[in-house]
Structure 1
Amino acid sequence: MDQAWQRATARYAPERKALLAEVAQGDAIGPFRPDWISLAQYQAPAWFGAAKFGIFIHWGVYAVPAFANEWYPRNMYDGTTREHAHQLDTHGPLTHRGYKDFIAGFKARHWDPAAWARLFKQAGARYVVQVAEHSDGFAMYDSKLSRWTAAQMGPKRDVVAALERAVRAEGLRFGLSSHRAEHDWFFDHGRELASDVNDPADADFYGPAVPHFVQDGDQDLQQDWTYVSPTYVDDWLARTAELEAYYRPDLIYLDWWVGHPAFRGALAEFLAYYYNRGAQRDGVVLNYKLHALPAGSAVLDVERGQLGDIRPTPWQTDTTISNSSWGYVESDSYRSATSIIQLLADVVSKNGNLLLDVGPRPDGTIVPQEQAVLLEIGRWLATNGAAIYDSHPWRVSGEGPTAPTAGAFKEQLAKPWTADDFRFTRNKDLLYAIEFGWPADGTVTIRSIKPTDRVQDVRLLGSSTPVRWQSTGQGLVLHVGSRPAGPAAFVYAIRTATDTP
């Protein structure tokens, strides 16, 4: 299987060799070397810790079938899934219409990258991360290592280049994500039945499609025995290097399967190359998940989850507005702006960033429900941004009866917040207390703020009504009256006479 893919991609060997040579040259310029002791000296740049809020974009060919989620390309070939049944019922046999045939419907006719960038800025985002290549193997940029790209098919334009220009024109940071590693096995179910995955003419698109051979689940990659050839690892390294070589992203997000042991040497080479080039700018960020990289060598991302307490170094959580998918699907439902703002406050109180995903339609438009959520978040940040941007953790992240379950993929266990739940941040000489509800009787006590903090002033951001307060042995008592309009994330700016780290 792997040899068939190698034969189909042999035409790109010179370009691959040239990119690998560029990586080796970048590894040699310092300050980082391609070994984990050197890479453990990495520190996230200041801009990332200050940004706090970013937008993630899952947009690709998987938006055309618009069913289930962005893993439709894999699951449509799995005879046990509803995606497979939907594919046969809607589109016919897989020998007649496979995933590659959806590319023709991915035209992006109404795509306006400048409008996207304006919307993301209005939402209050400070950085934007686009999926450059998902696990389906279709590059959204002008890759020199594939003909299956948005520059040559579908939209017939370099989508990454156009969005990068628009995002930077709005003064935002630009990042890219790569899910290329798992393309090694992503279409393996297509080997199990009659499908176009077995057609040698399409082997350069469907990849090796070797059996995904795992034990103890997908998250323990030490027990993942899937075959990965040295040639595929070289291809992964070259295709990931293209992102830096062509677009100079401020951030690169790598999906979890780069933690497979086969990629470890190539990962060290890429990180040294990327970090050395980033050091010539003002620093870059690489996100990893689970245990894909050694702690300290990059920035941890906790997918669809949170941490239980303050992390001393910056980190990130990523989640999506949609309740079901990272990419566009028809008849979807969406999370409220209030729930996302509360998540943002919780994450920021623990020294983290929130990367929030949207899934545009295949024509390039963003659904109105997602736009409405983004704009409401932006309005909240316009009033309360001092508690978020450029902020730092306080001595505790928060207080209250509701504690989120820590860990990746745990957000479905979240319980509703109450008016007794607070999250704290610091910015310059002010302490910010963010309340996740409004007390029914108009009075609430913040127990973490003691008389020794010597409170001098309290005000509610966005309100001209004075806040009456008392510093007591039980905590800071606030008499706040009737609830103001807006999401249930009310921010009190508190001035104290002490510097409370």
Structure 2
Amino acid sequence: MANVTGANVTDDRAQQADHRDHHVPETDEEVRRDLAAIDEVIARGRFKPDWASLQQHRTPQWFEDAKFGIFIHWGVYSVPSFGSEWYSRNMYIQGSKEFEHHVKTYGPQKEFGYKDFIPMFKAEKFDPNAWADLFEEAGVRYVVPVAEHHDGFQMYKSRLSHWNAAEMGPHRDVLGELSKAFNERGLVNGASSHRVEHWFFMGHGKEFDSDIHEPLKRGDFYWPSMPEPDHMDQHSKPVPTREYLEDWLLRCCEIVDNYHPKVLYFDWWILHEAVQLYLKKFAAYYYNRADEWGEEVTICYKQDSFMFGTATPDVERGQLAETKPYHWQTDTAIALNSWGYTENNQYRPAAEILQDFVDIVSKNGNLLLNVGPKPDGTIGDEDRAVLTAIGLWLKTNGEAIYGAKPWKRFGEGPTQIIEGQFSDSVKKNFTSRDVRYTINGSNLYAIAMRPAADGVYRFERLKEGDAEHNADFHGLIDHVDVLGVVDHVEWTRDETALEVHVPVSAITGDEPVVFRVVVA
């Protein structure tokens, strides 16, 4: 699917008006041609659009070894910097805090709608190389920018709609520039699409006198703005139309063809029954394209949007209570209240994120950690501080993380993990008795979630004993190191625990402490 070359435009608002009233990016004939091209790729590939065929797909080894990725929510919603990245929806809900804030700050929605933020989204300080340098320093292995959020503004050059960052706002192919910068540093490039939720995301704007009104047609920014379902589940109505879902499929395939992402992330509403046919077709297309290009890719999904074993399951803002035999991912954000930048973001400290990271890795998972850049294209001091701290910790302790495998027991300790999504705001209060285990090569790693006040660390899973005494570890220990602190630390082992003594002054901060148990 070829790229479009946008005209040089000096007046974004004039261009918006022209596109809203007159422009349809593709004719019906062009749509049929592009859909036929998708069918041709599927026909000649080994993956077909059914779950049995898609179960041939295997999670890439690079993904399992990577452990740490960055998610990026950055778009037009960063301009108002209020509430959350759902501003485009909420500003049209009468009585909401976003509605009231919008009227007070910008005026009535019929005079200043969401589209009018686009000329304000200039990204004048956006430097993809600076972002890539920061992520590399943070120890990140893959990066997943949001290519299109629910608001429908594409952060990449597209020929399916002119409402994109290459032709409006920044006038830059953001996804393309980032992908190039990541690849130059050996970071794996990904992308996410939240487009399917756009079906209803702007629908409240039709409930009063706003700038969202009929007629709307394919390619318009606000199209289709349908009524929001009471229950956003797989059976909700109104059902997305064939025209809309074909457009969704074309947009997803355009991202694949033009940017070759190795990870493709979808938000939740792809689980809708009307989407499933197109979802399977997309997965077959993506996996076949990867075969053609000699690349290993994966799709990350939430809930049960995909048949188990056909893609990588993801837990949004949550964790799992036990180790899983399959690989999985958590996506969460440095800010608790929003994925995008707002002026009142509530940031989590690096030590807490590292504790969750260690827990996730011990249970066979990856962490996809989100940052929300400011509208000018800079990453805020709070985000940078967290990423810098994580990078420093990984430089010392990365051998217990990158390429590590779960041990036969993920850990021990008094703190219980609440399983499931949207639990990252629950403060866990880990102690030094909370321990997580990983293995890498010939070494076993015991990771205390926080430093012990008295310098004494006990690992009950590593106690002396044999099978008759229900010991978990029967191996011989040669020595124990504390990564980045001291080699050959003092230790004892009996039928109750492996006990390690570390000078209190040797460990500072609240980050997890990693012990390398070297087996004889």
* TM-score above 0.5: yes
Out of 76, 81, 89, the position equivalent to 1:66 is 81
> CA offsets, 1:392-440, max 9 Å, x none?
0000111100021000111222421001001111100001111112222
* Counterpart mapping for 1:39-438 below 5 A: 39-198=54-213, 200=215, 204-215=220-231, 218=232, 221-280=233-292, 281-438=294-451
Q: Distance in 1 between matches of 2:263 and 2:510?
A: 30
Corresponding residue of 1:470: 492
Kept after mapping to 2: 8 A contact 1:23/1:273: yes
- Partner SS for 1:355: strand
Q: Aligned partners of 2:324, 2:30: CA distance in 1, in Å?
A: 41
Task: Name the CA distance, whole Å, in 2 between partners of 1:6 and 1:21.
Answer: 29
Larger CA deviation: 465-474 vs 332-341? 465-474
2:518 corresponding residue in structure 1: 495
User: How far off is 1:486 after superposition?
Assistant: 3.8
Q: CA deviation at 1:443?
A: 1.5
Root mean square deviation, CA, Å? 1.7
In structure 1, the partner of 2:9 is none
Partners of 1:10 and 1:106 lie apart in 2 by 23
- 1:125 & 1:93 partners in 2: Cα distance? 43
Percent of aligned positions with the same letter in both sequences? Answer: 46
Aligned-residue offset at 1:199 = 5.1
Q: How big is the shift at 1:40?
A: 1.9
Please say if residues 480 and 487 of structure 2, whose CA atoms lie closer than 8 Å, have aligned partners that are also in contact: no
Change (3 A) 1:27 1:201: closer
Letter in 2 for 1:461: L
* Structure 1 position 457, deviation (Å): 1.1
**What amino acid sits opposite 1:363 in the alignment?**
D
Provide the C-alpha distance between the structure 1 equivalents of 2:319 and 2:167, rounded to a whole number of angstroms: 39
Q: Which amino acid aligns with 1:485?
A: T
Give the Cα–Cα distance (whole angstroms) in 1 for the partners of residues 104 and 21 of structure 2: 34
- My pick for the range that moved more, 305-314 or 437-446, is 437-446
Alpha carbons of structure 1 residues 225 and 197: separation in structure 2 relative to 1, 3 Å: same
After TM superposition, give the deviation of residue 441 of structure 1 in Å.
2.3
Whole-Å Cα distance in 1 between the matches of residues 263 and 376 of structure 2?
A: 26
Q: Equivalents in 2 of 1:138, 1:222: separation in Å?
A: 25
Equivalent AA in structure 1 for residue 512 of structure 2: A
Instruction: After TM superposition, give the deviation of residue 156 of structure 1 in Å.
Output: 0.7
Q: Against the structure 1 CA distance between its residues 201 and 293, is the aligned structure 2 distance closer, same or farther, given a 3 Å change threshold?
A: closer
Matching residue of 1:485? 508
User: Structure 2 length as normaliser, TM-score?
Assistant: 0.91
In structure 1, the gaps of 5 or more residues are: none
Alignment TM-score, normalising by the size of structure 1: 0.94
Structure 1 residues 12 and 382: CA distance shift in structure 2, 3 A: farther
Q: Distance in 1 between matches of 2:373 and 2:426?
A: 27
For the 8 Å contact 2:77–2:88, the answer to whether it is kept is: yes
